[in-house]
Amino acid sequence: AAATRVFAFRDTRWAPDPVLEPSAAVRTPQPVPLVIDNGSFQTRAGWASADPAVPAEPLLRFRSLAARSRGARGGAGAETQVGNDLGSPEPLRWLLRSPFDRNVPVQLELQELLLDHVFQRLGVASQGCVDHPIVLTEAVCNPLYSRQMMSELLFECYQVPKVSYGVDSLYSFYHNRRQNWPCSGLVVSSGYQCTHVLPILEGRLDAKNCKRINLGGCQAAVYLQRLLQLKYPGHFAAITLSRMEEILHEHSYIAEDYIEELQKWRSPEYYENNVHKMQLPFSNKLLGSTLTSEEKQERRQQQLRRLQELNARRREEKLQLDQERLDRLLYVQELLEDGQMVQFRKALVELNMDSAEELQSYISKLSLSVEQTKQKILQAEVNIEVDVVDSKPETPDLDPLGSEQSLEDVESINEFEPLFAEEQPEVEKPVAAVQPVFNLAEYHQLFLGTERIRAPEIVFQPSLIGEDQAGIAETMQYVLERYPKEQQAILVQNVFLTGGNTMYPGLKARVQKELLEMRPFQSSFQVHLASSPVLDAWYGARDWAVEYMTREEGWITRKDYEEKGGEYLKEHCASNVYVPIRLPKQAPRTTEALAPSRVLTSSTGNPCE
């Protein structure tokens, strides 16, 4: 059972998205809408068509990230990679950029890169424009400036015919709505950056009472990374955000009662039965040597041969350099003997020497160094076949003329001196006895105990990471208390959980427990979990686009954009509430108000007064 709880990190590399060829049904009889779920964690895109030939699922799914390298010196320019083309985010973590601030797109140049990637990989082949209607998701109560910039990008840059904006969690709500479900409900949407509590009354979003918690999967991953890096400082670099996200997705769960669950983890038996061990990658080469004495001796002998060959090559190179310089000095000396004093003095200046005595001294020292190097080379060639593994290598003579090369030889040999020492069986015995006790694989394991519940618990208790915010339960209670008791009873009959951060096992039971504590005695409530919390937003947007494809409701045309501005929004069942900008009108300045100042100026003659 213990062996089955050892899990290896997948470290999955993202496969680049292929360029897809759209079917003919996408363009005939008219261009079908293109649905883009523009999430802060992942972007999903696909076609919305009732034709069976068009897939009813997102064809593209990639992380909403882009990396722009600076390019090599003298080579090609900067290279931009988007989404799955990155391969793996960790080597490029310091280059990654996202167009989102929390869940609101603010970096429109990066958003343009994501849209370019979508249109290119989906095979949009229209010349100079995108002639498909666009259905785009946006944040709850999206700022008008963000929508204005997005509309400007779509209409001005891509020349789209019309666009519709909707809230992702509302699309998911309507996609999962059954026949007997009420039109009202309380939507709890928890994503990568934020968690929202959205009241729905009679099929429309009550935007005045929406609440947001600035916590999501990103903060849980960072918190888990910090916990494990403090617990295992020796594996600091191996505890990456990508691996923390994998742990959250596959090994974490929500405790129904957090304090009670922590008490369970204090039991050694419960810990042994429920701990998950994450295996970090490691190399067996780090293990201690298991070679026999004969193999060790052979390896030392090979190392000594390589060292002798290295020293011999160095001596030959030094001999060649010294011989060339000696020939040069001898040539200068011949100039002195032949009486060519002008050329002799020029040569001394080039050699940085002052007199003929200094030249003679250098010639003597260099000649002696050349002779000694030749003798060392001859002696090394004679002794190359001698087995000196069991003997300590001799220290070469240190002479004042060749002191630099001799010191290098001594240092090189002394580095290998422990390897050439005589075998000491009494020293190897304790190593052989201790070596099997150390398990390198176990050393590279991360033991996940209470960390499995501590990281996802932050959406219920933000104070765990020092955030002064209310959790999901407190926020739900606050939203419900803003309504009369009759509407509260209607809302809690359909509490709907959606978003990628709601996929933890035990989340639905935890929400039911929290509602049971806050609701009156013997009152009823219903909690539903989205069938696919991650993809239901895209499915809901597709369902809406297919149903409203030929209607005008919910679509912003280019004429609307030019007349009413980029922040304009046409409301529909899954959209935000449009609140236009109302600028205060400035009162016109009348001539009577300006008259006294003119009189004052004329009387004094000084405008400053």
Top pLDDT among 68 and 248 is at 248
Q: What is the pLDDT of residue 602?
A: 39
- pTM value? 0.72
Q: Which residues have a Cβ under 8 Å from the Cβ of 536 and sit 6 or more positions away?
A: 171, 172, 175, 176, 498, 530
Beta bridge mates, 6: 277
> CB of 497 within 8 A of CB of 527?
yes
Encode pLDDT of 229-259 as tens digits. 999 999 999 999 999 999 999 999 999 999 9
Is pLDDT above 60 for 393?
no
On the question of pLDDT at 590 being above 70, the answer is no
DSSP 3-state assignment of 42? Answer: strand
Q: What burial class does residue 195 get, using C-beta atoms within 10 Å of its C-beta: 0-12 exposed, 13-18 middle, 19+ buried?
A: buried
| pLDDT band at 591; cut points 50, 70, 90 | very low
Percent of the chain with pLDDT over 70: 83
Yes or no: say if 191 and 216 are a contact pair by the CB < 8 Å rule. yes
- The CA–CA distances, whole Å, from 609 to 237, 592, 595 equal 70, 20, 16
Residue keyed to tokens 């594996």: 235
State the average pLDDT over residues 316-341.
Answer: 86
pLDDT digits (tens, 9 = 90+) for 455-471: 999 999 999 999 999 99
pLDDT, position 379: 81
Q: What is the pLDDT of residue 312?
A: 85
Fold topology of 217-282+444-529: Nucleotidyltransferase; domain 5 (3.30.420)
Does the structure show a pLDDT above 60 at 515? yes
Report the pLDDT averaged over residues 548-561.
92
Q: State yes or no: pLDDT of 313 exceeds 70.
A: yes
330 vs 199, which has greater pLDDT? Answer: 199
- Report pLDDT for 501: 94
Instruction: Give the residue with greater pLDDT, 308 vs 488.
Output: 488
Q: What is the pLDDT of residue 42?
A: 95
Dihedral over alpha carbons 295, 300, 305, 309 (to 10 degrees): 130
Burial label for 236, CB within 10 Å (0-12, 13-18, 19+), is exposed
Give the separation between CA 253 and CA 576, rounded to whole angstroms: 32
**Predicted pLDDT of residue 75:** 52
| 483 vs 1, residue with greater confidence | 483
Q: Specify the CATH architecture of the domain 24-179+535-564.
A: 2-Layer Sandwich (3.30)
More confident site: 171 or 398:
171
What is the reported pLDDT for 360? Answer: 86
In percent, the amount of the chain with pLDDT more than 90 equals 57
Q: What is the pLDDT of residue 581?
A: 76
Over residues 103-114, mean pLDDT? 94
* pLDDT value of residue 126: 80
Structural tokens at position 441: 């694989």
Q: What is the pLDDT of residue 331?
A: 87
- Is the pLDDT assigned to residue 401 strictly greater than 70? no
Mean pLDDT, the chain, integer: 84
As given in the structure block, the two tokens for residue 204 are: 């429309």
Band of pLDDT at residue 311, cut at 50, 70 and 90: confident
**What confidence tens digit (pLDDT) does each residue in 180-215 have?**
677 899 999 999 999 999 999 998 999 999 999 999
User: Which tops the pLDDT comparison, 564 or 435?
Assistant: 564
Query: Which of 111-115, 341-345, 547-551 shows the highest mean pLDDT?
Result: 111-115
Beta strands per DSSP E along 259-322: 276-279
User: CB–CB of 446/228 below 8 Å?
Assistant: yes
Q: State yes or no: pLDDT of 441 exceeds 60.
A: yes
Q: For residue 133, what are the CA distances in angstroms to 32, 39, 48, 146?
A: 7, 19, 10, 20
Across residues 96-115, what is the average pLDDT?
94
- pLDDT confidence of residue 181: 73
Tens of pLDDT, residue by residue over 271-289, are 999 999 999 998 876 444 5
The pLDDT, as a whole number, for residue 35 is 97
The confidence band for 419, taking pLDDT boundaries of 50, 70 and 90, is very low
Mean pLDDT in residue range 65-76: 70
Residue 396, pLDDT above cutoff 80: no
Q: Which amino acid is at 138?
A: E
